[in-house]
A = this chain, B = another copy of it.
Amino acid sequence: MTPPAHLADFDLSLLDQQLDTDDYIVKPGKGVDVHDRPTRYEGPIEKDYGQDAFGALSHHLVDLQERLYAEGKRSLLVVLQAMDAAGKDSTVRHVFGPVNPEGCQVTSFKAPTKEELAHDYLWRVHHHTPADGNIGVFNRSHYEETLIVKVKGWAPKDVIKQRYDHINAFEKMLTDEGTAVVKFMIHISKDYQKQRLQRRLDRPDKHWKFNPEDLTERAHWEEYMEEFNTTLSKCSTDHAPWYVVPGERRWFRNLLITKVLVETLDKMNPQPPKVNFDPASIVIE
């Protein structure tokens, strides 16, 4: 999964000209309608170049994570949300595959257990936030508590309404205390989901990924999009922004997410601690 070594020195200046990650952010306070956002990248970057650029960024991500780990003072939380079959698992594999697993933990949140349900909805999530020096990846997250919970009507509307503030405050506390937070919606069309689900049915080796319940959720597609609009509008903040990632060309999805992560870590600029001895003075006899 590690990209070819020669890509480590690949020139990224063309990419910087052609891809501004800010174009994909949900501007805090501005609101978003995901219907206005592309599900498929149609810009100037060519696939071959994009794949090489991804390889290069991947090397940078690995380096930056090593520095974050060596510093041991701050951490990075990455949230992934999407409709079924949009490519969350594939994103985790491609983007975080190259990163040293010792400093990167992926948590896939499933239906809560009885013990988890017996606590507030941030309880189980908080337990899995990354420790200093680590990258934590949430494959699904506390945002299920506004998304599916709203669409399914599992909690009264006024309970859900309070949660946007809870979540913003929770993420503010995390960032104040040293955990950077970035959040990605992997955005696909209803037609694209159909193709991906059909593929699971057509390929026996993918049958295990097909869940008949996904069709129930698919029937609520528009309600999910509406709640994505509300959630992303209310919870994209300066301290913890949401990005809407076009999900239908996987090479672009990986490229964009990795670029955001590299830019975020670059800004944090983690510094390995200085040693408190003079290495030159040490004699090993």
Contacts and interface: CB of A to CB of B under 8 A. Distances in A.
27 contacts: A72-B118, A117-B132, A118-B131, A118-B132, A118-B133, A119-B132, A120-B174, A120-B177, A120-B179, A121-B177, A122-B126, A122-B173, A123-B127, A123-B129, A126-B126, A126-B127, A127-B127, A159-B176, A159-B177, A162-B173, A165-B172, A166-B169, A166-B176, A169-B169, A169-B170, A169-B172, A170-B173
A120 B115 contact: no
A50 interface: no
Contact of A131 (B72, B115, B165): B115
Interface string A160-196: 0011011001101110111100000000000000000
B177 A172 contact: no
B177 A173 contact: no
A63 B243 CA distance: 51
Contacts of A174: 120
Given A166-B169, A166-B173, A176-B166, A129 B119 contact: yes
Contact of A173 (B120, B133, B179): B120
Copies per assembly: 2
Interface string A248-278: 0000000000000000000000000000000
Contacts of A119: 129, 131-132
Interface of A: 72, 115, 117-123, 126-127, 129, 131-133, 159, 162-163, 165-166, 169-170, 172-174, 176-179
A166 B172 contact: yes
Contacts of A162: 173, 176
Nearest to A117: B132
A12 to B, nearest CB: 32
A132 B127 CA distance: 18
A241 to B, nearest CB: 19
A238 to B, nearest CB: 14
The 9 A-B pairs of least Cβ separation, nearest first, read A169-B169, A120-B177, A118-B131, A166-B173, A118-B132, A126-B126, A162-B176, A119-B131, A120-B174
